[in-house]
Amino acid sequence: MSNIDKLVLKSAVNGFYTIQKSRIQIGNALVANFKEKLGQDAGATEETLDIDAEMLLSSLRESYKRITDGVTRMNHRTFKRDGHISTFSELALVEMYTNLLTDEEEAEKKIAHAVKEFPLHTRFLENVKGCGPLMSSVIIGGFDIYKAEYPSSLHAYAGLDVVKGEGRSRQKHHLVDQTYTDADGETQTKKGISFNPFIKTKLIGVLGPCMIKAQGSYSEVYYDYKNRLESNPAHQDKTKGHRHNMAVRYMIKRFLVDLYKEWRTLEGLPVADEYSKAKLNITHKAA
């Protein structure tokens, strides 16, 4: 596929997440507004809401549909309270949430259709359990396989490389020098992160849990590595959560190695061995 097709897909993905972010913000405002009816603590985000909160949002949407059923133009004069919605301002807030949810769902459907045109999705990513069309689109639009000369190139771009024995992060000693042009046209240097935080968040925070839940070949990589950590005396002092995070990180890195091989092959590009095999003659178990 051309770079233009890839840029269009990337723009669609960015648009989807912009809509989703707004929808979540409105959802949080709704829950905060109705927290007395819900009994939910203030400050909780929609992602952490319990089943009662999810039912509340669903109930609000149903109440909104009843109020607006057959009404083409709703205003404060034609408004009639129903269910949870007792004021016109509440109705307006639910309307915003409902419209954003519809836009989000439509955007996701269009992305799922568009990504089918990319060979990487149909020949590889579509067969990875836990990796749906939206995540495939994030990966295709987020990485530049032509710049990824080695598997470690993908690791570094996703912030999964190692710095002096530590996993890459936003800590001060992990920052790198970056050049930029100031307002006067002068070249300046500043400290900044070396990776794409959006890609890292989606891979570790979304794809990782989905892979584990899907119980596919990559979940086997996760459990195998986690068991190795738990039986290794060197990691006994680490918390259960720490070992879990290490295993997720390892699983995603193995996925990126496979992604590198498949993608570079599809594009007719040279495929290099990963460092552990090329330099240390260590072969990892295939997922």
Whether 115 has a pLDDT exceeding 50, the answer reads: yes
Shortest CA distance to 142 belongs to which of 118, 123, 126, 172?
Answer: 118
Whether 136 has a pLDDT exceeding 80, the answer reads: yes
Query: What is the DSSP code (8-state) at residue 167?
Result: E
Is residue 155 very low, low, confident or very high in pLDDT (cuts 50, 70, 90)? very high
Among residues of the chain, what percentage have pLDDT more than 90? 53
User: What would the pLDDT profile of 53-91 be if each residue is shown by its tens digit?
Assistant: 666 667 766 766 654 443 434 445 545 656 567 677 777
pLDDT (0 to 100) of residue 69: 46
The number of residues in the chain equals 287
pLDDT (0 to 100) of residue 148: 95
Whether 264 has a pLDDT exceeding 80, the answer reads: yes
Query: Would you state the structure tokens that stand for residue 24, as one six-digit string?
Result: 């979540």
Q: What is the mean pLDDT of the chain?
A: 83
Q: How far apart are CA 93 and CA 104, in angstroms?
A: 17
DSSP labels, 11-75: HHHHHHHHHHHHHHHHHHHHHHHTHHHHTPPTT--GGG--HHHHHHHHHHHHHHHHHHTT-SS--
Q: How far apart are CA 113 and CA 41, in angstroms?
A: 39
Q: How far apart are CA 101 and CA 234, in angstroms?
A: 47
Among residues of the chain, what percentage have pLDDT more than 70? 77
Assign residue 88 a region (left: φ > 0; alpha: ψ between -120 and 50; beta: otherwise).
Answer: alpha
pLDDT (0 to 100) of residue 32: 73
Q: What is the pTM of this model?
A: 0.79
Strands 176-181 and 187-192: antiparallel
Per the model's pLDDT, the better-predicted residue between 208 and 189 turns out to be 208
Helix, strand or coil for residue 95?
Answer: helix
Is residue 173 very low, low, confident or very high in pLDDT (cuts 50, 70, 90)? confident
Query: Contact, 157 vs 143, CB < 8 A?
Result: yes
Assign residue 212 a region (left: φ > 0; alpha: ψ between -120 and 50; beta: otherwise).
Answer: alpha
Please name the residue that has the structure tokens 């890459």. Answer: 168
Mean pLDDT throughout 215-229?
Answer: 96
User: What would the pLDDT profile of 92-114 be if each residue is shown by its tens digit?
Assistant: 888 888 889 899 999 999 999 99
Where is 252: in which H helix or E strand? helix 240-266
Query: Would you state the structure tokens that stand for residue 243, as one six-digit string?
Result: 């070992």
Q: How far apart are CA 123 and CA 118, in angstroms?
A: 9
Whether 138 has a pLDDT exceeding 80, the answer reads: yes
pLDDT (0 to 100) of residue 270: 96
Q: Where are the domains of the chain?
A: 3-114, 118-160+195-278
User: What would the pLDDT profile of 33-44 be if each residue is shown by its tens digit?
Assistant: 766 555 555 555
Whether 281 has a pLDDT exceeding 60, the answer reads: no
Lowest mean pLDDT among 159-163, 176-180, 266-270: 176-180
pLDDT (0 to 100) of residue 68: 47
Shortest CA distance to 194 belongs to which of 230, 216, 229, 170?
Answer: 170
pLDDT (0 to 100) of residue 209: 96
Query: Would you state the structure tokens that stand for residue 159, as one six-digit string?
Result: 């912030």
Is residue 232 very low, low, confident or very high in pLDDT (cuts 50, 70, 90)? very high
Instruction: Give the phi and the psi of residue 27 in degrees, each rounded to 5.
Output: -60, -40
pLDDT (0 to 100) of residue 56: 62
Beta-carbon contacts of residue 75 (< 8 Å; ≥ 6 apart): 88
Q: How far apart are CA 159 and CA 175, in angstroms?
A: 11
pLDDT (0 to 100) of residue 196: 93
